[in-house]
Amino acid sequence: MSKPLQLIVAGIGTEIGKTVASAVLVEALQADYWKPIQSGALDDSDTNTVRQLVSNSVSVFHPEAYRLTQPLSPHAAAALDGVTIDMSKIIVPDTDNSLIIELAGGLMVPLNNHDLNIDLVQRLGLPVVLVSRNYLGSINHTLLSVEACRSRAIPLLGILFNGPNVPASEGFILKYTGLPCIGRIGQEDVVTKDVIKKYASLLPGLHQFIKLL
């Protein structure tokens, strides 16, 4: 039996498609899912979204460490709620299954007055799948995210592209970074369980990439 994988899903910014990408990875691996920090939309959280999109009966959806009421950067949302995010209280769930961990926002998003998302990633010590989406400036944002991880010796499993297919941009990113493409998720008007299953079936074997770390 393959060793369970624990992966962090990070995006190059906000509204990149991390939650859909996380759902695809959860379905592909029949993994558990955990979003440590949820900012806003508590009745329609990313955990609930992934739960509704996943078809397998194996995945467990672990509760957030912090549930913040406002749809803001975690540090700002926490301040409005009278809470200070303490990284020492963000503990990876105990599970024998593979686990997909979705960050709240990009790598440099602040969690409190001292810590950023990337500090949490470094503390957890797990490999990252970077989600990239094409827009003007996305090459820059993708390369900056890769450099930020590499400057802290954070292992990068590869890049998962989401949205409209732009081969020239994607090809440049892969060639420049030397990272593998984990897969790509096309532009979809409506995301359903069938859509998630389709892309999960198209992903190459993730276990082969873990050997590259």
Q: Which residues are catalytic?
A: 35
Q: What's the one-letter identity of residue 101? A: I
Residue 1, pLDDT > 50, answer: no
Residue 102 annotated as binding site: yes
Instruction: Give the tokens for residue 120.
Output: 């949490």
Task: Tokens for 86, please give them.
Answer: 């303490």
Query: Cα Rg for the chain, rounded, in angstroms?
Result: 16
For residue 69, give both structure tokens: 């009421």
Three-class DSSP labels, the chain:
CCCCCEEEEEECCCCCCHHHHHHHHHHHHCCEEECCEEECCHHHCHHHHHHHHCCCCCCCEECCCEEECCCCCHHHHHHHCCCCCCHHHCCCCCCCCCEEEEEEEECCCECCCCCEHHHHHHHHCCCEEEEEECCCCHHHHHHHHHHHHHHCCCCEEEEEEECCCCHHHHHHHHHHHCCCEEEEECCCCCCCHHHHHHHHHHCCCHHHHHCCC
pLDDT classification of 205: cutoffs 50, 70, 90? low
Q: Which of 12-16, 66-70, 95-99, 101-105 has the lowest mean pLDDT?
A: 12-16
pLDDT in tens, 92-142: 999 999 999 999 999 999 999 999 999 999 999 999 999 999 999 999 999
104 carries a ligand binding annotation: yes
CATH code for 6-210?
3.40.50.300
Global pTM reads 0.94
* pLDDT, tens digit (0-9, with 9 covering 90-100), for 148-172: 999 999 999 999 999 999 999 999 9
Structure tokens of 102?
């979705």
State yes or no: 39 annotated in a binding site: yes
Q: Please choose, from the candidates 11, 66, 72, the residue with its C-alpha nearest in 3D space to the C-alpha of residue 35.
A: 66
Domain boundaries, the chain: 6-210
Do 103 and 111 meet the contact criterion of CB atoms below 8 Å apart? no
Structure tokens at 99: 């686990």
Ligand-binding annotation for 105, yes or no, is yes
Please check if 103 is assigned to a binding site: yes
